Amino acid sequence: MRFLFLLAALAGACAAEPKLTPEQQRLNIESFEIAWRQVRDIHWDLGRIDWQAVHDRYRPAVEEAGTVAEARQAMRDMLARLEQSHFAIIPAEVYTSLDRHGASRDFGRTGVRLDLVDGRPLVTIVEPQSPASATGIRTGWEVVGTDSKPLRPVVETLNRLDTGDRELMIARSLNSLLAGRAGTVLTIELLDGSGRPVTRRLERAGARGKLAGFGNLPPVPVWFESRTLHGGVGYIRFNFFLDPEGLMPQFEQAVRSFASAPGIVIDLRGNPGGIGAMAMGVAGWFVDQPGRRLGTLTMRGAKLNFVVNPRLPCYAGPLAILIDGTTASTSEIFAGGMQDLKRARIFGSRSAGAALPSAIMRLPNGDGFQYALAGYVSESGRPLEGLGVAPDVEVRHTRAALLEGRDLILEAAIDWIKHHE
């Protein structure tokens, strides 16, 4: 969720905030106490921190806050003492917008994915049969503005970020600038492969896939795709570990269709996770030994082992998993566990290191409070939180390759499958 806070800061850094009323001050203090108690009551490893001392240090800052921003910052500073992802304060206006507009009208798509490549916002994906592909936008083109607003100030801010999940925050922040309701028009300014300015008007299409929700989060569109690549290699990609009733049958059908393939590639780049238990189900199509584990989830007073249940007949051929800095949560659990079991080879760049399961509650002051429910350790005994999954083969995009329409990460995986013994 932190990318939302970053965008809010970029958009409203110069706006003056009104002073708090006595009622607002009371609600902020009540919200602080609820968030502090929730951590006290559910955190699985709080013994390493004097949480009462943290309370006593930051409550005065909330009491003395003159603006909403100051009160929020004090609560964020309190949560930062945990040094873990998935503990956050979501501004009321952002949380309300997510809650109110979590319908398909807010998921209009352009068919473009942006990433910072060598510090520049480049198009790394152009979805087939999308508004972007229809207007001739190509991978490797640099985006310099949207709706007449230059991206340079945003990119300069993003390039200064220094957090463990930096790539995740950057990608989400950049791509949110392209978001909007289906039917609305985005004007996008780019530099093509020769550096020439190009302007395209994209009418956002309807959401791809099926809307699915989880817990208190608003629904998001979930999609799945599979196809056969050059040489008969199977390819699977999906954007969330959500909608198990819809996604798991599609996954099964794809794996069965690739039964005689020389290898399978699962592309988890850009997949931020979802329902943790689905990782066990997906792994079951590739692990034939009962009792194997992806890792262990530790809650207050309980542990949950992510045990893989084989789904015979399992696919026994080479398995490649693609990850990057936008691969998070359940995607990391799956990729890291399969790596530990030596059942898959991982290609790309280090994942986000944001693997903890979380929930969101609304606070009395209207803000949302995201909090982690448990800690997670992969099967090898390594925590994924803050560290992420390190690829076996590190490969990154280059602009030259993107301009040629090439995906170096996918190519490396296919080459490994081709020469696998």
Give the domain CATH number at 66: 3.30.750
Cβ-count burial of 31 within 10 angstroms (0-12 exposed, 13-18 middle, 19+ buried)?
buried
Please tell me whether residues 161 and 51 are part of one structural domain: no
Query: Domains in the chain: how many in total?
Result: 3
Please tell me whether residues 193 and 219 are part of one structural domain: no
Q: How far apart are CA 294 and CA 113, in angstroms?
A: 30
Please tell me whether residues 252 and 199 are part of one structural domain: no
Instruction: Tell me if 381 sits within 8 A of 351, measured CB to CB.
Output: no
Please tell me whether residues 396 and 329 are part of one structural domain: yes
Successive 10-residue mean pLDDT values, the chain, 421 residues: 43 61 96 97 92 97 94 95 85 58 61 92 95 96 94 79 68 86 95 96 93 77 96 97 96 98 97 93 96 92 92 95 94 96 97 84 91 89 87 97 97 96 68
Has residue 99 been placed in a domain?
A: no
Has residue 92 been placed in a domain?
A: no
Please tell me whether residues 151 and 214 are part of one structural domain: no
Say which DSSP state 148 is in: T
Please tell me whether residues 363 and 407 are part of one structural domain: yes
Please tell me whether residues 281 and 227 are part of one structural domain: yes
Q: Would you state the pLDDT for residue 93?
A: 67
Has residue 318 been placed in a domain?
A: yes
Residue 318: how many CA atoms within 13 Å on its side-chain side? Answer: 18
Strands, E, within 2-156: which ranges?
Answer: 88-90, 112-117, 120-126, 142-146, 149-150
CA torsion through residues 343, 234, 316, 224, sign:
positive
Q: Would you state the pLDDT for residue 358?
A: 78
- Which of these three, 150, 179, 203, is where a domain ends? 203
204 three-state secondary structure: coil
Please tell me whether residues 79 and 116 are part of one structural domain: no
Q: What are phi and psi of 113, to 5 degrees?
A: -120, 135
Q: What is the DSSP string of 278-299?
A: HHHHHHTTT--STT-EEEEEEE
Q: Would you state the pLDDT for residue 375?
A: 87
43 three-state secondary structure: coil
368 three-state secondary structure: strand
Has residue 24 been placed in a domain?
A: yes
Bin 274: left if φ > 0, else alpha if -120 < ψ < 50, else beta.
Answer: left
Please tell me whether residues 385 and 355 are part of one structural domain: yes
pLDDT per position as a tens digit, 43-75: 998 988 999 999 999 999 999 999 999 999 999
Has residue 339 been placed in a domain?
A: yes
Please tell me whether residues 34 and 160 are part of one structural domain: no
Has residue 79 been placed in a domain?
A: yes
Instruction: Tell me if 375 sits within 8 A of 107, measured CB to CB.
Output: no
Domain that holds residue 382: 210-419
What Å distances lie between residue 306 and 85, 229, 377, 389, CA to CA? 21, 31, 10, 17
- Which of these three, 66, 83, 100, is where a domain ends? 83
What Å distances lie between residue 137 and 155, 162, 188, CA to CA? 20, 31, 10
- Which of these three, 186, 203, 220, is where a domain ends? 203
Has residue 242 been placed in a domain?
A: yes
Q: Would you state the pLDDT for residue 137?
A: 97
State the SS3 of 394-406. ECCCCHHHHHCCC
CATH of the domain at 227: 3.90.226.10
Q: Would you state the pLDDT for residue 217?
A: 66
Q: Would you state the pLDDT for residue 164?
A: 57
Please tell me whether residues 225 and 374 are part of one structural domain: yes
58 three-state secondary structure: helix
Please tell me whether residues 72 and 38 are part of one structural domain: yes
